[in-house]
Amino acid sequence: MKISALWLAPLSILYGLGSQLRNYLYNIGYSRSFNYDIMVIVVGNLSAGGAGKSPMTEYLIRQLKSKYALATLSRGYKRKTKGFLIADKYTGAAEIGDEPYQMYLKYGHEVQIAVGEERSIAIPNILLEHPETQVIIMDDGYQHRTVKPDFSILLTDYNHLFTDDHLLPWGMLREAKKGAGRANVIVVTKCPATLTEKEEIAIKEKISTYGGKETEVFFSRIKYNEIAPLIETDKVPSKVIAFAGLANTELFAQYVEEQFDMVEMISFKDHYDYDTESILQLVSKARAAGAALLTTEKDMVKFKDKNRIKLLEDVPLYFLSIEHQFIKNGNVFDKVVADAITEKYTIEE
């Protein structure tokens, strides 16, 4: 943390006291948490910003969709609507948010994709419209204490471990580090391919200070899939201008530079809503460089809008999708989740 940010420490203390009081009221039952008859799995983190929650949610979808009637629930960050919605063929990124829409495009024919700010209200609404639902995955719901989950997955970015961070606004933590104690498992995401066993042990020791003594810690990486075009074509770009609206574009830029002839990397704010001016600037740069445009899957879904597609004109747009991939012991993680679901329904019976 930069010394210049030390003046924010007193504000972090005040923020921490408020967060601590809030959690205490939930812990003693003064503020009410709701538990449901169906299995609720929460994916979240202690830090603001991207730790790979959506890739983890998609990983869980792939693991569970053939076994259970599944739904996902998120806030629908940056969407232009309010309240509870379940995605259908009439909804797009503007109505439900870019990441939920991304999931709908891939899994909407098998899984219910829902958004709602008030999770404790949204869950009964999901069950009202789809009473067959057996498992709900709450994306970015770790701090939503009104819902008492049956299983909590806490993520922390290898490059920004929660153990080395501070509370907002001095750092990026939404709550105190001891909040990790609520997690059933902790996953260190975005690990490098060079991660050593010695590093794993050191990170586990750090985390054990705040997580539960029996909490298992796993390590994962980002797996990039093959490049794909927005509009079907057999052509493969030789030169690209990359752009993305991510919390941190460093890993994306690094991968693109390694795999392609990258002319330029243009970074936008996380969940950026591309307007006419920004799209025309991208098109102009691509034409001048004789390059194609390349972005992330999360950004690409916003270009499904016909008006944005028109602005691209003759400049091809490609995208890279990513997957969560365990470095090792993925089968152990899968079993821990499966056992938790089995236990939930055994108890309920």
Burial of 182 (0-12, 13-18, 19+ CB in 10 A): buried
| 291 and 270 co-located in one domain | yes
Asked whether residue 192 falls in the same domain as residue 312, the answer is no
Output the CA–CA distances (angstroms, integers) from residue 220 to 195, 326, 332, in the order listed: 10, 4, 13
Cα separation of 327 and 222, whole Å?
10
218 and 280 co-located in one domain? no
d(Cα 76, Cα 130) in Å, to the nearest integer?
A: 19
Band the pLDDT of 1: cuts 50, 70, 90.
very low
Inter-residue contact 34 to 146 (CB < 8 Å): yes
Give domain status of residue 129, yes or no.
no
**Within this chain, do residues 264 and 339 fall inside the same structural domain, yes or no?**
no
Residue 311: other Cβ atoms inside 10 A: 18
Task: Examine residue 271 and state whether it is found in any structural domain, yes or no.
Answer: yes
Both tokens assigned to 298: 């999360």
Give bridge partners of residue 216 from the DSSP assignment: 185
**Confidence band, pLDDT 50/70/90 cuts, at residue 2:** very low
Worst-scoring range by mean pLDDT, 12-21, 266-275, 310-319? 12-21
Q: What is the mean pLDDT of residues 7-32?
A: 85
Report CA torsion sign: 153, 156, 158, 163.
negative
Number of compact structural domains in the chain: 2
Q: CATH number of the domain that 306 lies in?
A: 3.40.50
pLDDT class of 93 with cuts at 50, 70, 90: very high
233: confidence class by pLDDT, cuts 50, 70, 90: confident
Question: What are the E-state strand segments in 67-180?
Answer: 70-74, 85-86, 112-115, 135-139, 151-157
The answer to whether residues 50 and 197 belong to one domain is yes
Report yes or no on 89 lying in a domain: no
| Same domain, yes or no: 188 and 204 | yes
| Domain extent for 292 | 228-320
Each residue of 25-46: pLDDT tens digit? 889 888 889 999 999 999 999 9
What is the length of the chain?
A: 349
Contacts of 291 (CB under 8 A, 6+ apart): 237, 239, 240, 241, 263, 285
Query: Which helix H or strand E contains 18, and what residues bound it?
Result: helix 9-27
- Whether residue 273 lies inside any domain: the answer is yes
Distance of CA 277 to the CA centre of its chain: 28
Q: Are residues 180 and 262 in the same domain?
A: no
Do 171 and 256 have their domain in common? no
Q: Is 283 within the bounds of a domain?
A: yes
Same domain for 286 and 272:
yes
**Is residue 313 situated within a structural domain?**
yes
Q: Quick one: average pLDDT of 321-329?
A: 96
- Residue 259 maps to a domain: yes
Tell me the average pLDDT across 135-152: 95
222 close to 325: Cβ distance less than 8 angstroms: yes
CB 44 within 8 A of CB 140: yes
Let me know whether 314 and 166 are in one domain: no
**Is 330 found in the same domain as 316?**
no
| 110 is a domain residue | no
Whole-number pLDDT of residue 298? 95
Residue 286 and residue 341 in one domain: no
Q: What does 193-216 look like in DSSP terms, one character per residue? A: TT--HHHHHHHHHHHHTTS-TT-E
CA distance 316 to 319: 10
